[in-house]
Chains A and B, each alone.
Chain A
Amino acid sequence: MADPIHQFQIVKVVDLPDVTLPLVGMVDLAITNSHIAMTIAFAAVVLFLTLVTSNAQVVPGRLQTIGEGLFGLIDNLTDSIIGHDGRKYFPYVFTVFVMILAMNLLGMALTFTATSQLAITATFAVVTFGLVLVIGFAKNGLGFFKLFWPTGAPLVMRPVVGLIEFFSFMLRPVTLALRLFGNMLGGHVALKVFAGFVVTLGAMAAGGGFGLLGIPGAALSMTMVVGLTALEFLVAFLQAFVFAVLTCIYLNDVVNLDHAH
């Protein structure tokens, strides 16, 4: 049976010389399969958005309807969660959403899924967390720390609850990164495992004799693969959407700090 973990292996496609940067240290510039998957996703997003918006009609065609659907989905999200300031943050949330969605969906077609790399999901999470911090301090100054001071709780409890709030806040990038990473990893491992069963049991059946018992198992595994594939498409969309929703919620926390607390 093929190793279900092997699909996540980073492989150098074009090897480029390492460079040593100050502060960062040595960086391997090689173009890997991960780079290629990211680039294809990026190109697909740019191509799609160009096609959707370059010849946009008042009465939309099919492609434009899909594009406007995604646009409207995120636009409603930023509008309803962040409020009247939401439009300012729309480009960021939309960029995160379409990039993750493209990488997730591309993983259903390619042998490599960029969002199943912890490096990728952690980058998204850290960038989002950093943006929340920057906006929080820029908008509220030191009032940002009011976020951890629960005025709704009794005075005695406030330090305790505040501490909990602080830890949950600091864990946000971890949960953001691990949620997406875990979903994509688990889904693709499960797909590969059941697909591997089909091959192994099929090979057993080809041997004849008792091996023929493998046929029902192979058929069942095949059914599972088909079902899981459908589920993975759902998860691919859902995880991108969840990431966008959480980004909106985290941004709302700091943008509307005075109204909410």
Chain B
Amino acid sequence: MATPEGHGADTAHTATTEAEHGSGGLPQFQFQHWGGQIAWLLILFVILYVLIARVFTPRMRAVIDQRASTISGALETARQVQAEAADQARAAAAEVAEARAQSQRVAAEARAKAAAESAERAAVEEAKVSEQVAQAETRIAAMRDAAMSNVGAIAGETAAAIVEKLTGKAASAADIKAALVARGGAA
């Protein structure tokens, strides 16, 4: 700190340092230079400390905090949007399921209705057809009865003709009729 020689002895001073230098000692141990360096370093250090503590650190922290809040805000928004989208997707899926169930119900109803209608129609047709069959059967029975009565007359005529041919004389109608009845033929 305190230089051994006065300022006026400047040439002597440099000569001394050169001598020390030449003798191999480190220049760092020339203590006459310490005071000025230390004082200047402390001044710069205090100024820089005040600048960093008062100006740079608050600014830096403000930016970093702002960034953190921006990021967390964006994350929050993204999470919200994602939740909304999930809700909407669930709603859409429910709607689709409902629509499918409804359409299946409608289809089943339509199928049932169609089956009932066709069964009804079939029943009506069958009734009609069976009526016709019944009528036809009645007609056939009438025709057969008529035919069978005709057969009796024909048998009588034939018998009369045969008897006339065999006996040469015509049998009475009453005899023939009696014979036919006796033979069991249906009149």
**Does B75 make an interface contact (CB < 8 A)?**
no
Is the Cβ of A119 less than 8 Å from the Cβ of B49?
no
Decide: B21 and A6 in contact? CB cutoff 8 A.
Answer: yes
| Contact status A92-B49, CB under 8 Å | yes
Residues on B with C-beta less than 8 A from A46 are: 48, 51
A8 and B27 contact, CB distance less than 8 A: yes
List A contacts of B28 (CB < 8 A): 8, 116-119, 181, 185
Q: Is the CB of A5 within 8 A of B2?
A: no
CB distance from A31 to the nearest CB of B (A): 8
Interface string of B32-45 (1 = CB under 8 A from A): 11111111111011
A157 located at the interface, meaning its Cβ lies under 8 Å from any Cβ of chain B in the complex = no
By the criterion CB–CB under 8 Å, are A9 and B17 in contact? yes
Chain B residues contacting A15 (CB-CB under 8 Å) are: 10
Question: CB of A95 within 8 A of chain B?
Answer: yes
Contact with B along A1-38 (1 / 0, CB 8 A): 00001101110000101100000111111101011001
Instruction: Tell me the dominant secondary structure on chain A's binding face.
Output: helix
Q: Contact: B35 with A27, CB < 8 Å? A: yes
Q: A interface, how many residues as a size bin?
A: 35 or more
A120 / chain B contacts, CB cutoff of 8 Å: 37-38, 41
- Determine whether the beta carbon of A24 is less than 8 Å from that of B57: no
| C-alpha spacing A30/B10, complex, angstroms | 12
B12-38 vs A: 1/0 string, CB under 8 Å? 000001000100101111101111111
Q: Is B166 located at the chain interface by the 8 A CB criterion? A: no
Q: Which of B37, B47, B51 has the most CB of A within 10 A?
A: B37
**CB closest chain-A residue, reference B2:** A25
Residues of A within 8 A of B57 (CB): 71, 90-91, 94
Query: Is there an interface contact between A49 and B56, defined as CB atoms closer than 8 Å?
Result: yes
Instruction: Tell me, yes or no, whether A175 is within 8 Å of chain B by CB.
Output: no
**A68–B35 contact, CB under 8 A?**
no
B71-110 residues with Cβ-Cβ distance < 8 A to A are none
The reply on B1 being an interface residue by CB < 8 A is: yes
With A and B bound together, what is the CA distance between A60 and B66 in angstroms? Answer: 12
B contact residues around A54 at 8 Å (CB): 59
Q: Is the CB of B35 within 8 A of A123?
A: no
Q: How far is the CB of A73 from chain B (nearest CB, A)?
A: 12
Q: Is B44's CB under 8 angstroms from A39's CB? A: yes
B140 within 8 A of A: no
CB-CB under 8 A from A35, the residues of chain B are 36-37, 40
Query: Which of B2, B28, B62 has the most chain A CB atoms closer than 10 A to its own CB?
Result: B28
B24 contact set on A, CB distance < 8 A: 5
- A residues adjacent to B (C-beta < 8 A): 5-6, 8-10, 15, 17-18, 24-30, 32, 34-35, 38-39, 42, 45-46, 49-50, 52-54, 56-58, 60, 64, 67-68, 71-72, 90-92, 94-95, 98-99, 114, 116-120, 123-124, 127, 181, 185
Known: A25-B1, A46-B51. 18 other contacts (CB 8 A): A8-B27, A18-B6, A28-B36, A30-B36, A38-B37, A42-B48, A49-B52, A58-B66, A91-B52, A91-B53, A98-B48, A98-B52, A119-B37, A119-B41, A123-B42, A123-B45, A127-B42, A185-B28
The 6 closest A-B pairs by CB, nearest first: A91-B53, A25-B2, A53-B59, A56-B63, A18-B7, A119-B34
